[in-house]
Amino acid sequence: IINPDNVRAQVEGAIIQGLGGALYESVRFANGRILNPGFDGYRVPRFLDLPRIETVLLDRRDLPSVGAGETPILAIAPAIANAVFHATGRRLRAMPLAPDGTVAL
């Protein structure tokens, strides 16, 4: 890993983006019009919404160099949905998983 601080920042940014898409972000429509066209009505995660993120980088010199920063975004929504399922038996199948930012258990 040439620049671990940069990779760590990219990974943590992807996790935050994944949390936003999984729990908050949603474009709402009515009669073919966007109801929340600005950031005042489009919910994104705030710092107080975020968990502590611990990033562990693995320097795999036996593997070819590939991108690392955005890969974590793929696992966030499935991880949250599966955690809710294992805790409650309820499957969440539409995003955002929690339109108001909280998962009703």
Out of 12, 25, 54, 70, the active site residue is 70
- Residue 76: the pLDDT is 94
Query: Is 70 in the active site?
Result: yes
* For residues 89-100, average pLDDT: 81
Domain boundaries defined on the chain = 4-60+67-88
| R_g over Cα of the chain | 17
Phi, psi of 30 (to 5 degrees): -150, 130
In Å, what is the CA distance from 26 to each residue of 11, 67, 76?
Answer: 23, 28, 16
Query: In the structure, what pLDDT confidence band is assigned to residue 19 with cuts at 50, 70 and 90?
Result: very high
Instruction: Count Cα neighbours of 34 within 13 Å in the Cβ-side half-sphere.
Output: 8
pLDDT tens-digit readout, 54-66 = 999 988 889 888 7
**pTM over cut 0.85:** no
Per-residue pLDDT at 81 exceeds 90: yes
The model's confidence at residue 100, banded by pLDDT at 50, 70 and 90, is: low
Q: Once rounded to an integer, what is the mean pLDDT over residues 8-18? A: 94
The domain made up of 4-60+67-88 is a member of CATH 3.40.50.2300: no
How many whole angstroms separate alpha carbon 4 and alpha carbon 58?
10
